Amino acid sequence: MSSGEPRPVIVVGTGRCGSTLLSHMFRAHPELLSVSELFSFATDLGGRIPQAFPAQPITGAEFWQVVGGRHPRQNLLLRHGLRMPEVLFPPTGSDDMLARGVPALLLTTLPHLDDQPEPLFDALEVALSPRPPALIGDHYRALFRSLQDQFGRRTWVERSGGTLRIVARLVETFPEARFIHVVRDGRNTAISMSQHVGFRMALICFSLLELLGVDPFEDPDRSEIDDLPDDLAALLPEHFTREAFWSYDLAPSLCGHYWSGEIRDGVAQLPRDRTLTVRYEDLLDSPAAAITRLEAFVGLGAPNPAWVDRAAGMVGQGRSDWRSLPPAQRDELQRACATGFEALAAHGVDYER
């Protein structure tokens, strides 16, 4: 990277914190390549993190299986009609493609950039698969550079839901990057997680892994299946149904504990000298001011008032409100989020509690 180029930026958060809005804002900027959900779907909703960030060099063909592979969790959801709102491809009614499986890059990353993503996918495979062995960061940079050249953008901003859990890997893989940490009141975040297809699936998979001792999407071992309660056994890939998925009881308080853990562990690993923390609530209350801070942090040089105005026009209002819960659930959720709020306060981010 030459001294005249702005440094790349990675947006991180717990998920359900408002970061998707930033992807749409950055896509509207004429100098920024907005890379959306690359790490979320390359890791298959967090289930394939070691494969997406190996320590040893890998070939271009192996890298292509990371970003262009048809991974099991997301494709199982799609085959059962469980589609995250962030997923932009394939079009409704594409039964043949759903049966084959949708490559990770085609779910959101490429259709977020181009309304004809399949030819772009094919061209990237031709360009990236022959690459010689290299560290994973170099392969990702080659992908970003190819997309920058395609769309004429100066630098890239990657934003995936739930990447606070992999901050350490991102900091190590991209030492040149700066970070935007988007944070939202954990109580509202937890409610949103409990209702979101992707986070329900991720938390179900964590429970299956803990009780089985193996990842049931990657390993056929079922020797510990007797340890599974009936509601989780019904969500093994060989038994999975849409009805069992929505019937599984995922209380907001459980999501609150998850949020607290992600905040506690992730915030401590963010490099303070190259991180900007943005509260979702501030983005809602004073969009122009918050977006101006974002633009200055990205460091493109001269301000772009037209972009700030356009981005501010994208801001709506959050839908979750923890205060609407019954008192017992509200108190339980409050306790579940306490550790996360304490961790945020220790880093100068305060919420009324």
Q: What is the pLDDT of residues 32-61, one digit of tens each?
A: 999 999 999 999 999 999 999 999 999 999
- Quick check: is 351 in a domain? no
Q: Tell me how many domains the chain contains.
A: 1
The pLDDT value given to residue 223:
97
Is residue 327 a part of any domain in this protein?
yes
Q: Does residue 318 sit within a domain? A: yes
Does the residue 226 lie in any domain? no
pTM for the model: 0.96
Classify residue 346 by burial, with Cβ atoms within 10 Å: 0-12, 13-18, 19+: exposed
Mean pLDDT of the chain: 96
pLDDT digits (tens, 9 = 90+) for 54-96: 999 999 999 999 999 999 999 999 999 999 999 999 998 899 9
The tokens of 292 are what? 């101006």
- Domain boundaries, position 52: 9-207+252-345
Dihedrals phi, psi of 97, to nearest 5 degrees? -65, -40
Strand partners, 12: 181
Instruction: Determine, yes or no, domain membership for 220.
Output: no
Provide the 3-class DSSP secondary structure of residue 111: coil
In a domain, 213, yes or no: no
If DSSP codes are grouped into helix, strand and coil, which group holds residue 345?
A: helix
Write the CA distances from 241 to 81, 131, 173, integer angstroms.
10, 40, 37
Contact 212, 221 (CB under 8 A): yes
Domain of 96, CATH number, reads 3.40.50.300
The reply to whether 236 falls in a domain is no
Amino acid identity, residue 299?
G
**Above 70 in pLDDT, residue 3?**
no
3-class DSSP state of 193: helix
**Is 245 among the domain residues?**
no
Maximal C-alpha separation, the chain: 62
3-class SS of residue 317: coil
